[in-house]
Amino acid sequence: MANTGLGTALRHWRDRVPPQAAGLPAGGRRRAAGLRREELAQLAGISADYVIRLEQGRATSPSAQVVEALARALRLTQDERTHLFRLAGLAPPSPGTVPRHITPGVHRMLDRLAGTPVAVFDAAWNQLLANPLHTALMGERHGSDLNGVRRTFLSPGTRVRETPEARDALQAALVADLRRTAGRYPGDPDLRSLIADLRRHSPRFAALWESGAVGQHESARKTIDHPDVGALTLDCDILSVAGSDLRLMVYSAEPGTEAADRLALLGVLGTQSLVEER
């Protein structure tokens, strides 16, 4: 049976999202003021054909992951997100799971920080959203590579230049932070699965987890080797969003430095790449 309620809601919410949310200029010839289907698909990480089928009611059982991604891309409020889950025939995430809802205020903050690389993470260090400049700086991430803890322990490739001592300190801090998150959300199945997977595949993670390592993922100064603009030494600050357990990772350059010039150049190159891809 066609799920016309879901399709109607998706079309309504898509029409109200400004094109700037997809990194597009507000001007130009557009039939609608909001997002096109392909733009929503890109923001949500799904195919444009699947968005069409959802809106036409021909796809009736989207997964919780797809619904969550659509809610973020459409910038839904908490109540709207709950309604979207129910329209999709799914139970909304329970209060005992790691919060993954990005508030409209956080979305607006990222819009205003277009010239600053910013990414939003949940308490389990899953990257939920990144602005275009962060993606240009750190590279596109997909699938399991979106989790910062998994990437640190299991993915060998990174653009961040680290000393062995700095990497050890980061790993210990991430494990301790993840342990605190597990204490706050003991019923989250995705979090339990992440921890079990890391303990199984990373001896270093398992040793830190069992040792009861303590620490906190704090602000740091990082050097990033970028393939197009060269090395950038930037301040990396971790900001907490009160009441949501979200973390904002913000990179910034000291004014007047070579890193500031290279970051500005990267903003131009990243915008050009986005236009060329479209």
Q: What residues contact 143, with CB distance under 8 A and at least 6 apart? A: none
* Residue 260 pLDDT class (50, 70, 90 cuts): very high
What's the rounded Cα separation, in Å, for the pair 23 and 271?
8
Evaluate if residue 278 carries a pLDDT over 80: no
Sign of the alpha-carbon dihedral angle for 255, 106, 13, 188? positive
Q: What is the pLDDT of residue 59?
A: 83
CA-closest candidate to residue 21, choices 84, 82, 77, 72: 72
pTM summary value: 0.84
Asked if pLDDT for residue 273 goes beyond 60, the answer is no
The angle subtended at Cα 114 by Cα 265 and Cα 126, nearest 5°, is: 105
| For residue 30, pLDDT beyond 80 | no
Domains of the chain with CATH codes: 4-87 (1.10.260.40), 104-277 (3.30.450.180)
Kindly report the average pLDDT of the chain as a whole number.
88
Q: 60: pLDDT confidence band, cut at 50, 70 and 90?
A: confident
pLDDT (tens digit per residue) in 145-197: 899 999 999 987 789 998 888 888 889 999 999 999 999 999 999 999 999 99
- Burial pattern 43-81, b for ≥16 Cβ within 10 A else e, equals bbebeeebbeebbeeebeebeeebbbbbbbbbbbeeebb
Provide φ and ψ at 269, rounded to 5°.
Answer: -65, -40
